[in-house]
């Protein structure tokens, strides 16, 4: 297997991506409202730097944000890839199945409850959004279930229905209380600004668990991506495997949403690009998604805080700006090949 990959140059390219990721990490940690030399950032990293103000800024404000963006990009790309494979739809996005609408609703509801009705709620907006994103996706799965099966078409349809239901509630609240909800809207468009080391380690744990589960289920995933029938012929139950993978990915993405709001297009575009390089599915696609997704989101985070500095753009706006044209380009290109 590795022989086959080496022949195609996939391993060297992966090593290259890992190195690039590290360089990008240093680069984006160095530049922002305060710029320092990349070599200084490296010195900070190996603890050979003296200016404690700068050191503090870089280590405690900027690095966790850059590293956190990387991890979120990885999780979104991996989940997007798995979802696209298991529901047999190359246009699937982790947000397709109601996740983002639930999260938005949760955030807006939280803001409304605390700011307007002065409820005191023992946990923050993030946890509220997390709970509601799970709630909305479970609703989608519940509605689309037919016996033990989750037919793909009904999954997508109930995703659309549940999303529009939650979105109309969100709009309702926003129209009523727009003055109080502006900052919620900014958060909803995606924001990596508040990521700290604590968030980073939580997200890193999520990423590692996600990778382990995907590797354990690698063969199942391979079969499912060839279709339900191929799974049956090769001896697995497609329904239960799909359900497990679906739940694991939803959980992982919900963590991202709760930490950084809704960041579109990463889970849709990155897996496409990776598939162009590696082919449909193999163990190596997951690694590629980690680094390509991570680099993409680190870059987007950099743009979001530097384009109109000191004003920050929501990172979701950047990913859509960059992602949409890239996606159109890929679509056009692949259609030409048909």
Q: Which residues bind another protein (CB under 8 A)?
A: 1, 85, 88-90, 147, 216-220, 222-223, 225-230, 232-237, 275, 279-281, 283
Q: Please state the closest distance from residue 334 (CB atom) to another protein, in A.
A: 10
Task: Cite the DSSP H helix spans in 31-151.
Answer: 38-45, 52-56, 63-86, 99-111, 125-144
Q: Please state the closest distance from residue 164 (CB atom) to another protein, in A.
A: 27
Of 8 and 183, which has the nearer Cβ to another protein?
8
Helix (H) or strand (E) holding 163: helix 152-188
Of 230 and 247, which has the nearer Cβ to another protein?
230
Q: Please state the closest distance from residue 103 (CB atom) to another protein, in A.
A: 29
- How many angstroms separate the Cα of 115 from the Cα of each of 4, 186, 212? 59, 16, 41
Close Cβ partners of 13 (under 8 Å, ≥ 6 residues apart): 277
Within 10 angstroms of residue 138's Cβ, the number of other Cβ atoms is: 15
Of 43 and 149, which has the nearer Cβ to another protein?
149
Q: Please state the closest distance from residue 49 (CB atom) to another protein, in A.
A: 44
Of 2 and 311, which has the nearer Cβ to another protein?
2
Distance CA 262, CA 69 (A): 13
Q: Please state the closest distance from residue 5 (CB atom) to another protein, in A.
A: 12
Of 141 and 224, which has the nearer Cβ to another protein?
224
In contact, 331 and 323? CB cutoff 8 Å: no
* Residues present in the chain in total: 338
Of 183 and 219, which has the nearer Cβ to another protein?
219
Q: Please state the closest distance from residue 237 (CB atom) to another protein, in A.
A: 5
Alpha-carbon dihedral 236, 237, 239, 243, rounded to 10 degrees: -60
């Amino acid at each position: 297997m590795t022989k086959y990959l080496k022949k195609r140059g996939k391993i060297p390219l992966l090593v290259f991506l890992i190195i690039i990721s590290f360089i990008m990490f240093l680069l984006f940690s160095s530049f922002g409202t305060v710029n320092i030399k990349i070599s200084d950032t490296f010195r900070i990293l190996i603890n050979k730097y003296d200016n404690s103000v700068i050191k503090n800024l870089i280590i405690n404000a900027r690095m966790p944000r850059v590293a956190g963006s990387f991890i979120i990009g990885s999780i979104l790309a991996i989940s997007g890839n798995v979802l696209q494979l298991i529901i047999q739809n190359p246009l699937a996005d982790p947000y397709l199945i109601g996740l983002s609408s639930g999260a938005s609703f949760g955030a807006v509801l939280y803001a409304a409850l605390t700011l307007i009705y002065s409820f005191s709620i023992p946990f923050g907006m993030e946890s509220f959004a997390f709970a509601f994103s799970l709630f909305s996706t479970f609703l989608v799965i519940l509605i689309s279930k037919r016996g033990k099966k989750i037919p793909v078409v009904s999954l997508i349809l109930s995703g659309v229905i549940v999303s529009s239901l939650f979105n109309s509630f969100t709009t309702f609240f926003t129209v009523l209380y727009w003055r109080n909800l502006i900052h919620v809207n900014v958060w909803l468009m995606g924001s990596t600004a508040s990521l700290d080391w604590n968030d980073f380690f939580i997200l890193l744990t999520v990423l590692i668990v996600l990778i382990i589960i995907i590797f354990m289920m690698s063969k199942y995933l391979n079969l499912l991506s060839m279709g339900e029938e191929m799974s049956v012929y090769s001896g697995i139950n497609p329904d239960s495997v799909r359900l497990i993978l679906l739940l694991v990915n939803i959980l992982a993405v919900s963590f991202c949403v709760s930490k950084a709001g809704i960041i579109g297009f990463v889970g849709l575009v990155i897996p496409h690009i990776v598939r162009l390089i590696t082919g449909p599915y193999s163990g190596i696609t997951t690694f590629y998604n980690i680094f390509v997704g991570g680099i993409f989101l680190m870059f987007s985070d950099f743009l979001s805080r530097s384009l109109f500095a000191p004003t920050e753009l929501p990172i979701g706006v950047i990913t859509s700006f960059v992602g949409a044209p890239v996606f159109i380009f890929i679509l056009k290109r692949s259609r030409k090949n048909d």
